[in-house]
Structure 1
Amino acid sequence: MTTRLPHHHHTPQEEDLVTSQVPEPVVLTARHDGTLVITLNRPGVRNALDRSLADALDAALTRLETDPELHVGLLTGAGGHFCSGMDLKAFPTDGVPTVADRGLAGLTRVRRAKPLIAAVEGAAVAGGLELALACDLITAADTAFFALPEVSRGLIASEGGAIRLPSRLPHHLAMEMLLTGAPLSAADAARHGLVNQLTGEGKAVRAALALADRVRANSPDAVRVTRRIVEATRGLDDHAAFAVQDPLSEPLAHSTAAAEGALAFCQKRPPDWTA
């Protein structure tokens, strides 16, 4: 004979306890019109990247790419910091938290179609800076800072830091950061063109959303093809670059989006890209 235990109804205090024991997701997502806001959410460790966060960010980026209603992504961090890089406590057992062939947290080596904006508060350090460098645009609070201290840990900034930073900053400044681990303030980063817009503390996301709105006002197809051309022609001479560009750009000249853009301009109205 089976004894059925009486059902226990939680008191309000117990309900609060049960709720508090459910861990928060390590990556939060929220839609803002056609922009997907992606928030790294391990604030207790400055959003350091471990395996679970890497997989969750990869899933969020996949959602951005596959949802036709989303046109721009915004990447930021919870708790006043962007990302402190790889979780060194997890590194000895888990290694670098890359995802398949898509690089660190599914971002640094992936081929994306849609624009991604980094909104940086606090630290964007090591792998955190490499995530920001993999984005197309960067807003940053004036209290934020950037650094690649991998050499001081016996490591290499191998997920885009050593490759991308020297083309984004003056050569010797980039080399100082790479070889000494010296930090760069957001104000200096903006002065040298690494940051698109400098904001007050706590306002980087707001500025990034405004930037996303400006991007979304344009033809989604034209934006995606422009991104693709920039990526595909990097490092090529002009002759080779035009040979790569033209097959990508020519179909757009005969598209309904191009016709709508011209008509809207003549009629002095905003274009309707869904037409």
Structure 2
Amino acid sequence: MSDVLLVDEPADGVCRLTLNRPDQLNAISRELMTRLLSELRRIDADESVRVVILRGNGRAFCAGADLSEHFGAEDAMDIGRTDLWSLIENLRVPVIAAVHGWAITGGFLLSYCCDLIVASDDARFRDTHASLGLVPTGGESQRMPRRVGGALARELMLTSRPLTAQEAREAGFVSRVVPRDELDATALELAGMIAANSPRSVREIKMLINVGLTGGFGTGMALELRNNAFGTANNVPNADRDARIAAIHG
């Protein structure tokens, strides 16, 4: 069985994490979540790592939660209620998301928990909570407005429409849009520029920016979780929800 997370060091000070479930569009399973958490904690303790690149193998960056585990099992896993999101945001070093293809719901969240996003021109971002009758648990209702602005966040979350790479660049959500075959090189170039700077300054600047952006975050998170029923709006029948899931991921 292939490793669900590939780890390499393409340059000095740069650690690259590749989501490796291409047949499932890199949907986050329990195994992948466990590996991500483990590697990120290892990186946080490794002073030789200056920056992280997060990417996906295959046709997409990440399709969000593996819904067979999210809904289907008795011990169903809600990826929103894990430490992954805050761990990325509070990691000692910056994290660059290199996004191509789809970044859907949890995959969208995964991208904007990173410090910088480089996108290929075929990248598409989409939050599907409303279309599936779900309520967020990963802080999307608080994180997305802080990254893309309140007006665009409302439109994306309430309509569930896709956001193109170019729209994301114009909104300031994505820092660079490049052709697909230039994505990895561009992310690596950006990582090298960061790795060449003072580790202490980079660490402190990341922390200060995050503190400035997250005022009142705890209140918003408390409201989100209070209004959530394990990720699901209870008035949506399972059959209807499953049909919508199939339409989105088909």
Query: Is the TM-score greater than 0.5?
Result: yes
Which of 225, 240, 248 is the matching residue for 2:204?
A: 225
Aligned to 2:86, what secondary structure does the other structure show?
coil
Measure how far apart 1:235 and its partner are. 5.0
Pick aligned residue for 2:112 from 133, 144, 149:
133
1:97 aligns with 2:79: yes
Instruction: Summarize the Cα distance change of 1:235–1:120 in structure 2 as closer, same or farther, 3 Å threshold.
Output: closer
Paired with 2:169 and 2:213, the residues of 1 have a C-alpha distance of: 23
Q: What secondary structure is seen at the aligned counterpart in 2 of 1:146? A: strand
- Structure with more of its chain in helix, by fraction: 2
Q: What are the within-5 Å matches in structure 2 for residues 175-190 of structure 1?
A: 175-190=154-169
| 1:213 corresponds to 2:192 | yes
CA-CA distance at 1:236 after TM superposition: 5.2
What whole-Å deviation, never above 9, does each CA across 1:216-265 have from its counterpart, x for those lacking one? Answer: 1110011001111222333559xxxxxxxxxxxxxxxxxxxxxxxxxxxx
The percent identity for this pair of structures is 35
Residues 81-96 of structure 1: matches in 2 within 5 Å?
A: 81-92=60-71, 93=73, 94-96=76-78
Partner of 1:108: 85
Match of 1:25 in 2: 3
For 1:124, what is the secondary structure of its paired residue?
A: strand
Q: Distance in 2 between matches of 1:142 and 1:109?
A: 28
For the aligned residue pairs, the C-alpha RMSD in angstroms reads 1.7
Point out 4+ residue stretches in structure 1 off by more than 6 angstroms: none
Distance (whole Å) between structure 2 residues aligned to residue 131 and residue 166 of structure 1: 15
Equivalent position to 2:59, from 80, 84, 90: 80
Structure 2 residue aligned with 1:268: none
CA gap 1:59/1:236 in 2 versus in 1, 3 angstroms: closer
TM-score by length of 2: 0.80
SS at structure 2 position matched to 1:58? helix
Instruction: Tell me whether 1:201 sits opposite 2:172 in the alignment.
Output: no
Q: What residue ranges of structure 2 are gaps of 5+ in the alignment?
A: 217-250
Specify the alignment match of 2:145 in structure 1: 166
Shift of 1:56: 0.6
Counterparts of 1:204 and 1:159, CA distance in 2 = 27
Distance, in Å, in 1 between the alignment partners of 2:120 and 2:174 is: 10
Within a 5 Å distance, the mapping from 1:26-65 to structure 2 comes to 26-32=4-10, 33-65=12-44
Per the TM alignment, residue 176 of structure 1 is displaced from its structure 2 partner at its CA by 1.1
- Residue 124 (structure 1) aligns with: 103
Unaligned runs of 5+ in 1: 1-22, 238-275
Q: In 2, distance between residues paired with 1:51 and 1:202?
A: 30
1:154–1:228 distance in 2 versus 1, CA, 3 Å: same
**Cα contact 2:146–2:214 (8 A) shared by 1:** no
Quick one: distance in 2 between partners of 1:119 and 1:160? 21
Letter of the structure 1 residue corresponding to residue 8 of structure 2: A
Given the two structures, how large is their TM-score scaled by the length of structure 1? 0.73
C-alpha distance in 2 between matches for 1:203 and 1:86: 27
